[in-house]
Amino acid sequence: MLLGSIEAGGTKFVCAVGNDDYQVKYKVQFPTTTPEETLTKVVDYFKQFEIDALGVATFGPIEIRKTAPKYGYITSTPKPGWQDVDFIGFLKKEIKVPMSWTTDVNGSAYGEFTMATLFNEKINSLVYYTIGTGVGAGAVINGQLVGGIGHPEMGHVLLKRHPDDLEFKGICPFHGDCLEGLVAGPTFEVRTGKKGAEVPLTDQTWDILAYYIAQAALQTTLTLRPNKIVFGGGVTNQVLLEKVRIEFAKLLNDYVQVPPLDKYLTMPSVPNNGSANVGNFALAAKLLVD
């Protein structure tokens, strides 16, 4: 059995083909340009293979209700040119296989949950945050992705401001200083004039980001009580994560019990932010047995 995966990001698309052990056999990536050009490249790539099912995880917001007229659409995204794009409809004209459809962070969350299950980690719930150009999170509870009338938008929760960051207005075009507006990758350049990769890990900006990310982890802990919270994306690194653990411990103040923080607040188990591929393969395979 061959399974397909599309990880659709605002900067690049990653297309992969794997087996039913969720191992990537073939992979390609290309820049995200216009919908017509980008999705045509996707179709041309998968036409080379006889895949049995396809998992799609994309930047959003997207319509996930199967009964909705715009199921399979990217909807009110801030990504220029991608508003109201019939993503799944475009693919189905040329690729005649079952397709799963979810957000990029849901795909990653399901991938991390799948890996935990494969390695006999005794968990039934997990939340995955990606902190990169944008910020979002997906949640798996009792093996199911969370979402009813839509998918979670946990990157846009509001937070208490850090006392040394009150002048920063945030970059989210919808909310200003929500989580995404305060910790996404582009905030480094606005705050410091440097790309995140150029900002020393000793710079106070990292402490400010940790304070905000820890608040998000606290909200998630008290709302969903997951077994684990995973942080991926280009901004995340081990130094930042350790700062987040310290801030989280202060904020939680032993109010409820959580696992040891080195097990509870973690980096992804799949290297190179490849969790979405595993999740897409698993969701695609599920279509063939449900």
Residue 225: what residue type?
A: R
CATH number for domain 120-268, candidates 3.30.420.40, 3.30.460.80, 3.40.50.1970, 3.30.420.240:
3.30.420.40
Contact between 221 and 245 (Cβ < 8 Å): no
At residue 79, the pLDDT reads 87
CA distances (Å), 95 to each of 14, 72, 167, 197, in order? 17, 14, 50, 39
CA atoms within 13 A on the CB side of 120: 0
Burial 18-39 (b: 16+ CB within 10 A, else e): beeebebeeeeeeebeebeebb
Q: What is the DSSP string of 87-113?
A: HHHHHHTT--S-EEEEEHHHHHHHHHH
Arithmetic mean of pLDDT over the chain: 95
The backbone torsions φ and ψ at residue 276, rounded to the nearest 5 degrees and listed phi first, read -65, -35
Nearest Cα residue to 129 out of 100, 159, 149, 109: 109
Nearest Cα residue to 113 out of 287, 268, 290, 235: 268
pLDDT tens for each residue of 181-233: 999 999 999 999 999 999 999 999 999 999 999 999 999 999 999 999 999 99
**3-103 maps to which CATH number?**
3.30.420.40
pLDDT tens for each residue of 78-130: 789 999 999 999 999 999 999 999 999 999 999 999 999 988 898 999 999 99
At residue 13, the pLDDT reads 96
List, by residue range, all CATH 3.30.420.40 domains of the chain: 3-103, 120-268
